[in-house]
């Protein structure tokens, strides 16, 4: 059906996941940490779709249903995460994650 | 072997990787959000050539349309431009880069010898078939309802968090 190598799709997903992980781990701005999480979720979705193409008939549809749920959960995650950023920004006037290393103060 | 899908795959793959790298190194959150839209749109193109048109549309509608819009809205409300003094990477940043690099190396080694190939009998992920899979007899109806509750909880939670913020503002002014 497709002329695209299934392995190449997985390598692309791996690279995207690693870039997202690097963004989440190394950046200090709170927005970039959230964006890294979104990149990782997208990479996982791509991996699901890529692997679903290697199954026959009804089994190939399973991998296309899981990303639907992942997208819905990503939407709720972004909603809560951004609300928390707004809250935390108003208490300290900073989007630097290091500014919140002492939450008790 | 058709050539056209491969050309499109290469194009979208390079575009997605470039946009993801832009998110990694961008200075301003707005630039990163725009790059994020580029990455999600090229992933939508990839879904389309991987025979998953429903997911391609959902990707544009929900990810590029709703989630990044929310992100851009909050960045603009909070005026993220103010934090020019925040360094881009933490002091531990370069050390922490070892983790994704090690993950990539490990998985590349694992994948390299494998031979996975696309199945000729894989179905095309149209709206019709995806809906049947979701709501069919062996489907995901309960999971679907649970996700609905999660979304509702997130909505109420976000409203409560923002409302508490508004109330505290009122108190400080009074």
Are the beta carbons of B3 and A87 separated by less than 8 Å? no
Q: Measured between alpha carbons, how far is A22 from A39 in angstroms, rounded to an integer?
A: 10
- What's the distance, CA A47 to chain centroid? 12
* ipTM of the complex in this document: 0.88
pTM above 0.80, yes or no: yes
**Proportion of chain B above pLDDT 90, given as a percent:** 36
Chain A residues touching B63 at Cβ < 8 A: 38, 42, 71, 74
Closest Cα of chain A to B140: distance in Å? 9
Phi, psi for A6 (deg, rounded to 5): -65, -30
Domain ranges of chain A: 9-97
Q: Measured between alpha carbons, how far is B106 from B110 in angstroms, rounded to an integer?
A: 6
Cβ contacts from A onto B, under 8 A: 271
pLDDT of residue A99: 73
Do A70 and A41 contact (CB within 8 A), yes or no?
yes
pLDDT tens digits, one per residue of B32-86: 999 999 999 999 999 999 888 999 999 999 988 899 999 999 888 887 555 566 6
Closest Cα of chain A to B108: distance in Å? 8
Q: How confident is the model at residue A12 (pLDDT cuts 50, 70, 90)?
A: very high
Residues 6+ apart with CB under 8 A from A55: A62, A63, B119, B122
Nearest CB neighbour to B80, from listed A9, A60, A95: A95
pLDDT tens digits, one per residue of A30-40: 889 999 999 99
**Proportion of chain B above pLDDT 70, given as a percent:** 89
Residue linked to tokens 């997605």 = B16
Rounded to 5°, the CA angle A1-B50-B99 comes to 130
Describe chain A by its helix, strand, coil percentages, rounded to 5.
80, 5, 20
Query: Which CATH architecture group holds B1-83?
Result: Up-down Bundle (1.20)
Minimal Cα distance from A11: which residue of B?
A: B108
pLDDT tens digits, one per residue of A44-67: 999 999 988 888 877 788 888 899
Mutate to test the interface with A, among B50, B72, B126 (most CBs of A within 10 A): B50
Chain A residues touching B95 at Cβ < 8 A: none
Which B positions 60-79 lie with beta carbon below 8 A of chain A? Answer: 62-63, 66-67, 70-71, 74-75, 77-78
Nearest CB neighbour to A7, from listed B89, B114, B133: B114
DSSP string, A14-59: HHHHHHHHHHHHHB-BHHHHHHHHHHHHHHHHHHHHHHHTTS-BTH
Do A18 and B100 contact (CB within 8 A), yes or no?
yes
Q: Which two tokens stand for residue A93?
A: 């006037």
Average pLDDT over residues B88-112: 82
Do A42 and B63 contact (CB within 8 A), yes or no?
yes
* Weakest-pLDDT range from A92-96, B13-17, B58-62, B154-158: A92-96
Do B49 and B9 contact (CB within 8 A), yes or no?
yes
CATH number for region A9-97: 1.10.287.3510
Are the beta carbons of A38 and B116 separated by less than 8 Å? no
Chain A residues touching B98 at Cβ < 8 A: none
């Amino acid at each position: 059906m497709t002329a695209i190598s299934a392995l190449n799709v997985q390598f692309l997903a791996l690279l995207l996941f690693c870039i997202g992980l690097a963004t989440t781990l190394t950046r200090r701005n709170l927005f970039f940490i959230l964006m890294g999480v979104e990149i990782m979720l997208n990479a996982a979705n791509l991996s699901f779709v890529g692997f679903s193409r290697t199954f026959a008939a009804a089994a190939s549809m399973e991998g296309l249903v899981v990303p639907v749920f992942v997208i819905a959960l990503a939407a709720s995650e972004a909603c809560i995460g951004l609300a928390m950023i707004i809250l935390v920004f108003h208490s300290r006037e900073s989007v630097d994650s290091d500014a919140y290393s002492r939450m008790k103060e | 072997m058709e050539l056209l899908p491969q050309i499109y795959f290469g194009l979208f793959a390079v575009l997605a990787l470039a946009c993801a790298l832009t998110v990694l190194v961008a200075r301003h959150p707005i630039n990163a959000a725009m790059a994020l839209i580029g990455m999600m749109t090229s992933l939508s193109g990839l879904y389309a050539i991987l025979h998953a048109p429903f997911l391609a549309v959902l990707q544009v509608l929900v990810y590029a349309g709703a989630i990044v819009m929310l992100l851009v809205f909050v960045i603009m409300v909070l005026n993220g431009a103010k934090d020019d003094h925040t360094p881009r990477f933490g002091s531990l940043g370069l050390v922490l880069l070892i983790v994704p690099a090690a993950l990539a190396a490990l998985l590349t080694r694992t994948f390299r010898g494998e031979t996975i190939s696309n199945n000729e009998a894989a179905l095309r992920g149209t709206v019709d078939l995806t809906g049947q899979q979701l709501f069919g007899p062996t489907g995901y109806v309960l999971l679907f309802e649970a996700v609905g509750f999660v979304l509702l909880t997130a909505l109420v939670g976000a409203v409560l968090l923002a409302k508490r913020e508004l109330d505290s503002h009122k108190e400080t002014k009074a």
